[in-house]
Amino acid sequence: MPLYTAHLPKWKKDEISEIKRLSEEYKLMGLVDMYGIPARQVQDIRRNLKGKAELRMTRNTLIEHALGEIGGEIKDLGGKLDGHSALIFTNENPFKLYSMLEKTKTKMAARPGELAPTDIVVEKGPTSFKPGPIVGELQQAGIPAAIEAGKVTIRETKTVVKEGQEISKKLADALAKLDVKPMDVGLLLQAAFFEGTVYESDVLAIDEVAFYNNIITAAKQAFNLSLNAAIPTKDTASDLLTKAVREARNVVVEAAVVSSDVMDAIIGKAQSQAMALQSVVE
Amino acid sequence: MEYIYAALLLHKAGKEVNESAVQAVLSAAGIAVNESRVKALVAALDGVDIEDAISKAAVAPVAVAAAAAPA
Amino acid sequence: MEYIYAALLLHKAGKEVNESAVQAVLSAAGIAVNESRVKALVAALDGVDIEDAISKAAVAPVAVAAAAAPA
Amino acid sequence: MEYIYAALLLHKAGKEVNESAVQAVLSAAGIAVNESRVKALVAALDGVDIEDAISKAAVAPVAVAAAAAPA
Amino acid sequence: MEYIYAALLLHKAGKEVNESAVQAVLSAAGIAVNESRVKALVAALDGVDIEDAISKAAVAPVAVAAAAAPA
Amino acid sequence: MEYIYAALLLHKAGKEVNESAVQAVLSAAGIAVNESRVKALVAALDGVDIEDAISKAAVAPVAVAAAAAPA
Amino acid sequence: MEYIYAALLLHKAGKEVNESAVQAVLSAAGIAVNESRVKALVAALDGVDIEDAISKAAVAPVAVAAAAAPA
């Protein structure tokens, strides 16, 4: 390996050793896709990750060199490299990094030719524009614009492009003017090397809402099982008693078994039956 | 309401809700019976599915709860 | 439920809900009266404010209407 | 209410809800048994589908009022 | 559920809900008692305010109804 | 509640919920296992359709008050 | 769902929900453990208030009804 790098210029050698140093300093080394992220957004993301993760943009060839010199399983990361990859380092595990990156996503305007990530809707209402050629531009983009009370106004809420469809140049321009930012931009974790294993993006995506709902479901199932199978636990003993009493009350009222504790409920039922019948009769 | 109770009583006991039966029940309760009200009751109940009408009473509170919940 | 209706009938008629009165009403309806159930009913009603229990039932349908309307 | 608990205990255990069984359960719990209440209970439950009655939500006017009030 | 009713029965009778009492009630009902279940019940009930749990039942039916309504 | 989760875990894994299996799971979690609770759990689950029991909503009475309050 | 059950089991037992503990519980239940799913579980739980999620489960039946009612 040293022979291989021997002929590299000094800045390249420095870059490679910097990557190696970072890979030793951090538990996780990952690849993120930088495609289409404007410089300003990259700055924002870098700021948001400060103290949690370090982003390093460098040439693919240098990354490959570094991976080769480190050796071992980490070389598999090289297979995930593409022209827009950057390196990311953190001490978090890959799942946390993934959700962290999801959270640092920001919105930006669509560029011509991009696909709508969701249905793009233009809301009804006045705009800040004064009457002028803008009205025609909006209309040509399929946006129902008109002049009302001396202002350019969107006459009705309209879905201008469906999810997955291409955004035309006219529409992209019009949306930008209306300050509609439909595109999510952020770093997409392509793969991560952590504690001896390479994790690919498909295993890293965890739907946090679904996950939370699963916890609730599990707790509900446990509660249901405890009550329905009458298994008393510390958490459910009181609920079990209430269930039993409720069942007893139901029987009392349903079968009109008189019992001093529930006479009000029985009379109430008889009375509401009487009122129901009366409303039919009158 | 006592006329209705008498009708329900007869119905629950599986008896026919006719004028003489209603009259008998009310009298037994010591109520001075108004004959035309008995006639009106029996006439009004003609063709009414009492069981069905009663079961709506049980439904009412359900509606209350359901309606109250999202408020 | 017929025992309860008999009690409500007597109550509405302003009569005391005692064993013999309940028995008389049920018999007039042609019901074979179970003495223990009559006793149990009268015992269970002791101390119960029937008017109060009735008025609570009255709250329900009103609430239904009120709650259902804006829904 | 203890008479009902005894009945449901027997029912849930798959036993017949008859007078002697109810009496035995109540006595074992140290309750002084009132024979006519036991008779009344067994008579009232005669012909009742207990499983069905258990699952039917009883109309509780008091609770309804409480729930409806803040709506 | 029979174990739970046994506990309620004892509570209503003003007795302590302990292993031997639960066992006695269940045996009187002709149930082959599972000792572990009795132990588990008594252990789970330790520190539970039974009266409080009972009082909640009066409110519950409305919720049941509410939950059932849209189903 | 951990005993219930152990049962759910075994059930979902397609394993039989028997004493030794429950014990193994709880021990692996570092829990000092109470043998009679394990026995009680397995006994209570005997004949129970777990799939059915976990999906049938059991209303938590405590929740009623909480849910009703903001209504 | 087994991974969630394992996590809740550990949580309820007052144990830390870490990778080795989850792995041990799942293995004891005879489940072939997927290491990266375990890692994902532990990572996803970080920042989740399990106690809070559990308490939502108790409220849920009512909440479901409330949400469904106006539909």
pLDDT band at C59; cut points 50, 70, 90: low
B57 close contact with A: CB closer than 8 A: yes
- Name every chain A residue with its beta carbon within 8 A of the beta carbon of G43: 93-96, 99, 206
Q: Can you give the residue range of the structural domain that contains A37?
A: 2-105+186-205
pLDDT digits (tens, 9 = 90+) for E2-50: 899 999 999 988 999 999 999 999 999 999 999 999 999 999 999 889 8
d(CA B22, CA A81): 91
Q: Does chain C touch chain D (at least 3 C-beta pairs within 8 Å)?
A: yes
- Name every chain D residue with its beta carbon within 8 A of the beta carbon of F68: 66-67, 70
The closest alpha carbon to A153, from A175, A119, A180, A178, belongs to A178
pLDDT digits (tens, 9 = 90+) for B38-48: 888 888 888 88
Q: Which residue of F has its CA nearest to E2?
A: F44
D-F interface: how many C-beta pairs under 8 angstroms? 7
Taking the CA of residue F71 and the nearest CA in chain A, the distance in Å comes to 22
pLDDT digits (tens, 9 = 90+) for A12-31: 888 888 989 998 999 999 99
- CA neighbours closer than 13 Å in the CB half-sphere of residue G70: 11
For A:261-280, CB contacts with D below 8 A are: 261-262, 264-265, 268-269, 271-272
User: Residue G16: what pLDDT?
Assistant: 92
Assembly ipTM: 0.72
pLDDT band at D67; cut points 50, 70, 90: very low
CB A164 within 8 A of CB A115: yes
In a domain, A84, yes or no: yes
- Name every chain A residue with its beta carbon within 8 A of the beta carbon of G4: 214-215, 217-218
Name all contacts of F3-6 with Cβ < 8 Å and 24+ positions apart.
Answer: F3/A231, F3/A233, F3/F37, F3/F38, F3/F41, F4/A222, F4/A225, F4/A226, F4/A231, F4/A233, F4/F41, F5/A218, F5/A222, F5/G5, F5/G6, F5/G8, F5/G9, F5/G12, F6/F41, F6/G9, F6/G29
pLDDT digits (tens, 9 = 90+) for C34-53: 888 888 888 888 878 888 88
- Parallel, antiparallel, or unpaired: how do β-strands A28-33 and A188-194 relate? antiparallel
With 90 as the cut, is the pLDDT of residue F42 above it? yes
Q: Who among C5, C50, C57 is closest to A272 (CB)?
A: C57
Taking the CA of residue F46 and the nearest CA in chain G, the distance in Å comes to 19
With 60 as the cut, is the pLDDT of residue C70 above it? no
B4 close contact with A: CB closer than 8 A: yes
Q: What percent of chain A has pLDDT over 70?
A: 95
Burial category of G36 from C-beta neighbours within 10 Å (exposed 0-12, middle 13-18, buried 19 and up)? middle
Residue type for A200, please? E
Taking the CA of residue A97 and the nearest CA in chain G, the distance in Å comes to 9
Taking the CA of residue C36 and the nearest CA in chain A, the distance in Å comes to 11
| Mean local confidence (pLDDT), A90-98 | 89
Q: Which residue matches tokens 């309401």?
A: B1
Q: Does chain F touch chain D (at least 3 C-beta pairs within 8 Å)?
A: yes
User: Residue G59: what pLDDT?
Assistant: 59
- Name every chain G residue with its beta carbon within 8 A of the beta carbon of F33: none
- Name every chain A residue with its beta carbon within 8 A of the beta carbon of B45: 281
pLDDT band at A261; cut points 50, 70, 90: low
Q: Does chain C touch chain F (at least 3 C-beta pairs within 8 Å)?
A: no
User: Residue A150: what pLDDT?
Assistant: 84
With 60 as the cut, is the pLDDT of residue B34 above it? yes
Q: What is the mean pLDDT of chain A?
A: 84
pLDDT digits (tens, 9 = 90+) for G15-70: 999 999 999 999 999 999 988 889 888 888 887 888 888 888 775 443 333 333 33
d(CA A157, CA A154): 7
pLDDT band at A275; cut points 50, 70, 90: confident
- The gap from C-alpha F4 to its chain's centroid, in whole angstroms, comes to 2
User: Residue A182: what pLDDT?
Assistant: 87
Top residue of D1, D33, D35, D37 to mutate, by most chain C CBs within 10 Å, is D37
User: Residue F17: what pLDDT?
Assistant: 94
In a domain, A240, yes or no: yes
In a domain, A110, yes or no: no
- The gap from C-alpha F30 to its chain's centroid, in whole angstroms, comes to 18
C-alpha distances (whole Å) from A142 to each of A122, A138, A157 are 10, 7, 12
With 60 as the cut, is the pLDDT of residue C60 above it? no
Which has the minimum average pLDDT: A81-90, A175-184, A198-207, B28-37?
A198-207
Q: What percent of chain C has pLDDT over 90?
A: 6
pLDDT digits (tens, 9 = 90+) for A104-122: 887 888 888 888 888 999 9
pLDDT digits (tens, 9 = 90+) for A178-194: 888 888 888 888 899 99
For B:29-48, CB contacts with A below 8 A are: 41, 44-45, 48
Contact across the interface for E70 and B65, Cβ inside 8 Å: no
User: Residue C58: what pLDDT?
Assistant: 59
pLDDT digits (tens, 9 = 90+) for D6-40: 999 999 889 999 999 999 999 999 998 888 889 88
Phi (first) and psi of residue E29, to 5 degrees: -85, 0
The closest alpha carbon to G14, from E39, E45, F32, A232, belongs to F32
In a domain, A199, yes or no: yes
- Name every chain D residue with its beta carbon within 8 A of the beta carbon of A269: 58-59
With 90 as the cut, is the pLDDT of residue F38 above it? yes
In a domain, A234, yes or no: yes
d(CA A122, CA A179): 10
A227 close contact with D: CB closer than 8 A: no
User: Residue A5: what pLDDT?
Assistant: 56
Q: Which residue of G has its CA nearest to E65?
A: G65
- A99 and A42, same structural domain? yes
- Name every chain F residue with its beta carbon within 8 A of the beta carbon of E37: 39-40, 43-44
- The gap from C-alpha F45 to its chain's centroid, in whole angstroms, comes to 9
- D50: CB partners within 8 A, 6+ apart: A251, A255, D7, D8, D11, D17
Contact across the interface for G69 and E66, Cβ inside 8 Å: yes
Contact across the interface for A231 and F62, Cβ inside 8 Å: no
With 90 as the cut, is the pLDDT of residue F68 above it? no
| Mean local confidence (pLDDT), A27-55 | 88
User: Residue A111: what pLDDT?
Assistant: 86
Which CATH number describes the domain made up of F2-68? 1.10.10.1410
**This prediction's pTM:** 0.70
Helix (H, G, I), strand (E, B) or coil at C30: coil
Contact across the interface for A224 and F57, Cβ inside 8 Å: yes
Taking the CA of residue F19 and the nearest CA in chain E, the distance in Å comes to 12
Q: Give the CA-trace dihedral at A103, A108, A112, A114, to 10 degrees.
A: 10
Give chain A's domain count.
3
- CA neighbours closer than 13 Å in the CB half-sphere of residue E3: 29
User: Residue F59: what pLDDT?
Assistant: 62
pLDDT digits (tens, 9 = 90+) for D38-61: 988 888 888 788 888 887 755 443
pLDDT digits (tens, 9 = 90+) for B12-33: 888 888 898 999 999 898 888 8
